[in-house]
Amino acid sequence: MAERRSQNEINEILHHIESGNNFLLSGGAGSGKTYTLVQTLKRLSEKYPSAHIACISYTNAAAIEIKNRAEIRNLKVTTIHDFLWESIAPFQREMKETLIDLINDPSNEIKTTDDGERFSGEFENGVQYKEYLNLKEGVISHDEVLILAHAMYSKYVKLSDILKDKYPFIFVDEYQDTSPLVIEILLSQLRQSDRRNVIGFFGDSMQAIYESGVGDIENYVWEGVIQKVEKKQNRRNPELVIRLANNLRTDGLEQEPSEDHTAPNMINGMVKSGSVKFLYSNEFDLNEVRSSPWCSGWDFSNSRTTKELRLTHNLIAEEAGFSELMSVYDADPLFKFKQDFRREVKKQGVEIEPSDTFDHVVTSVPWSYVKGANKGRHHKDVLLDDDIAAQLYGHVKDWPYSKIQSIYLDKDSLIDDKVVIDGVIVREPKRDRLIQHLFKIQNIIELYNKKSYNEVIQKTSYRILSVAHKTNLKSTINTLADMSNASIEEVISFADRNGLCIVDDNLSGFISANEYLYWRVKNIPFYIFQNLYRYLEGFVPLSTQHKIKGLEFENVLVVLHNGGWNNYNFEYLLNPNIQYTLTTSRQQSFQRILSRTQKLFYVCCTRVKENLVVYCPKPTQAMLAGAIDLFGAENVVDLMGVTV
């Protein structure tokens, strides 16, 4: 039955294709959208064997998955950025002219160079697409590719002619993660061409959780530009989760259990009931949640079956034990001060001598706080009120101002993660050289603990020429493994001296160029990094709510805690009537924040294969009333034992 229903959806899509209609396959979580995409590609290839088909996705990981599953001729599977770049790259003259126009247009989003100058001449080596941005050299990165392509497709109709001739069929996977610029190219600018082609979108507007995404394209549906095909079955979630998810949806799509008796959410011909609970307490106490009857039998040490979802890495860092590192990369007060100070210098138009000391420059700029208790005080004095900030300032105050400006801290350099499909790493994490080096050291320890001795030898510079060397290697690694309480600098030095992990030119160069960062990190105990390692390698069940999109687990605990991130508000989710009590300025952003929060919560809940627990500390009575509407009174439970 489910197979027949899937074929009906595919047949409906093929009917739209034959009629020359653009289409949108809208399916909720666990509905098998990728299966439908792959089967559509195969059927289309059979019907039009000579036609070239483009399938574009948000990530390399998704592109690889589609390519491996489809396995058909004349199929181009690529990321959105690569697809657009390849379409405009042959037209260097037009690209140069358009890029220079964009750079010189102050209303455009093309980023300026660090010194605020704008380039107006020729690019010696043409326009190039790389991982970094250097406008003076004509080098653009991911964001600029989209802006440049959008401007070129708007300006040159011949680009649309060429693209339509090359690809009579263009499919977009996970369309909700796609930039509005891309959607406009495909659904507006391509229509300037008289050539024929069909654009197909696959995705779910309720899973649009990235800021850069389009969210949904319902306006194009209403205008008749695209035809909508709904995919209602759910093959992943138990019945109670499906009900909750339907209560959260805002697009009218109502999912129903799969009629395929072999689907993962079916047992003995019936959909699993599952378990859904909303727990709350007057104090934030996760231990009480984990030990409650509703998490009975959950293995919180098994990250493959159980996930505990928080909104941000910062909310995870303390419990996972790497907050000391996180505070350096994401909450360094001196780095924030430097950024604020630089903006103030630019606003005032103050001329700075780069060789002057940081303290001299800071003291000489007449910048004062004007709000609250700090009114009239100098910015430096306010900074030094904080003991940690005062210590940091004291360390660098005599550095040249130019050296301070080179300080760069970014939490992604610490916590960026790899992408793995079927055990294969398809994207390496973009961590900085220091964190990469520490990963190498810890990997050696992990391999040794697993008795993978040959791999240990391959990954080290240790020479094994005798039995004595093997014995010495064992002793050396045992010593390294016992250095958890030693400083990061001591561990790096020990591993280098003993040939386990050499300090190469990459690390030396990084330390030299990032003296402040290394100074902040080097004295942190190595076990703090080891905690980060275990988190990023998935050895603990903690995860951010954004990171688990596309995954599924038997048991999921969702913690409703904003963590100070104003882009999300769980009180809005449970008590939307609060908008009428907000100030005018907050009401203007209410709907945007509510929609963003609702979609993220939907993604979290629909990861569940068996049991869902949502924990809300310190809810208001209005929030509890909203929880009853969503979950049902029988499923809203006070951790102290009182059912609402």
For the annotated binding site for ATP, the residues are 27-34
User: Nearest to residue 198, comparing CAs of 222, 156, 163, 232?
Assistant: 163
Nearest to 559, CA basis, from 311, 314, 320: 311
Q: Beta partners for 357?
A: 400
Would you state the structure tokens that stand for residue 406, as one six-digit string? 């080179």
The answer to whether 276 and 612 have CB atoms below 8 angstroms apart is: yes
Calculate the alpha carbon distances from 406 to 114, 347, 514 in Å.
11, 20, 8
Which residue, 393, 362, 399, 356, is CA-closest to 515? 399
Amino acid identity for residue 43 in this structure: R
CA 311 to CA 365: how far, in whole Å?
A: 39
CA distance 9 to 24: 11
Q: Give CA–CA dist 83/76, Å, rounded.
A: 9
Half-sphere exposure (Cβ direction) of 468: Cα atoms closer than 13 Å: 0
Task: Find tokens 């959806």 and name the residue.
Answer: 9
Query: DSSP per residue over 440-461, as a string?
Result: HHHHHHHHHHTT-HHHHHHHS-
CA distance 482 to 318: 23
Q: For the chain, state the CA radius of gyration.
A: 28
Binding-site residue positions: 27-34
Q: How many CA atoms lie within 13 A of 442 on its CB side?
A: 20
Q: Which stretch of DSSP H or E encloses residue 608?
A: strand 608-617
